[in-house]
Structure 1
Amino acid sequence: MNLLLSAVLMAVPPSSMAVMRWEKRILLVSAPDARDSRLNEQRRIMKRWKAEAEDRDLVVVEIVSGSVTGASDDAAALRKRYRMPAGDFSIALIGKDGGIKLHKRQPITAETLEGTIDAMPMRRGGAR
């Protein structure tokens, strides 16, 4: 039975960002291609900060070239909505309320993410 449950869960496509609202904070990372050094630096930061990100209900959604991972949304629609140019690196921290809390053109350090998230009212208020 566990094998069947695992197979079903793996087959479930990622949620849209709208569905994640009020449940997750989102780090939206956009890069022109997978070779972008800033994309790879942000991935290294998040790999080292994985447990802390999970504790803060933070998920990563990446837009690389025309593909989206971590959400079911369309790449062009996300870039337009969050003002992320297709030809450059851009990153946005989106709060549980759906608002942009931080927008940068360079990788965001773990310390900056931690400080920004921990200062959010929902995090301070105990709602994580």
Structure 2
Amino acid sequence: MALWPVMAPADAARGATALTVTPAEGDTLRALRWQARPVLVLGPQAQVRDQIAALQAQAAALADRDVVLLTDGPGADALDAGAGFRVLLIGKDGGVKLDQSDPVTADRIIALIDSMPMRRREAR
């Protein structure tokens, strides 16, 4: 049950005003495969906070696309950004769809997700 907050926010947040932000644990990405589209925000705390705030501004639209927000944690070690900032969008298939070292707008993430064949099928 410890993973519930990580695995459920997209469904629980539909229509909500905020997405749950959870540290990435060792098996988080594996557990979310085929269930959600994780957005990992890694790096210095101030930049992470600002990026998450920018994404939260469009929480309902992101939740409708099954996005979950993850931050630094033991499960992010393999994606270590070192001292730098990094935003990654992981598709439901587990593949990296976006790897950015600069802040990303929610609109860019939404547009990228909406261009994915799986999302097009979901939207029908």
TM-score class normalised by the smaller sequence: 0.7 to 0.9
1:87 to 80, 83, 89: 83
Q: 4+ runs of 1 displaced by more than 4 Å?
A: none
Structure 1 contact 30–86 (Cα < 8 Å) conserved? no
Name the larger-Rg structure.
1
Q: Give the letter for the 1:121 counterpart.
A: P
Instruction: Specify the alignment match of 2:104 in structure 1.
Output: 108
Which secondary structure state, in structure 2, belongs to the residue aligned with residue 17 of structure 1? helix
Consecutive unaligned residues of structure 1, counting only runs of 5 or more, are 1-11, 69-73
Identity %: 34
Question: What are the within-5 Å matches in structure 2 for residues 1-128 of structure 1?
Answer: 12-14=1-3, 16-32=28-44, 34=45, 36=46, 38-63=47-72, 68=73, 74-75=74-75, 78-80=76-78, 82=79, 84-126=80-122
Q: Give the letter for the 1:20 counterpart.
A: L
CA distance, structure 2, for counterparts of residue 102 and residue 46 of structure 1:
15
**TM-score normalised per structure 2:** 0.73
Which secondary structure state, in structure 2, belongs to the residue aligned with residue 126 of structure 1? helix
Q: Give the letter for the 2:48 counterpart.
A: L
**TM-score normalised per structure 1:** 0.71
- Output the aligned Cα RMSD: 1.8
Paired residues in the alignment total: 101
1:13 to partner: Cα distance: 1.6
Deviations 1:34-62 (A, max 9, x none): 2x2x2122111122111111100000110
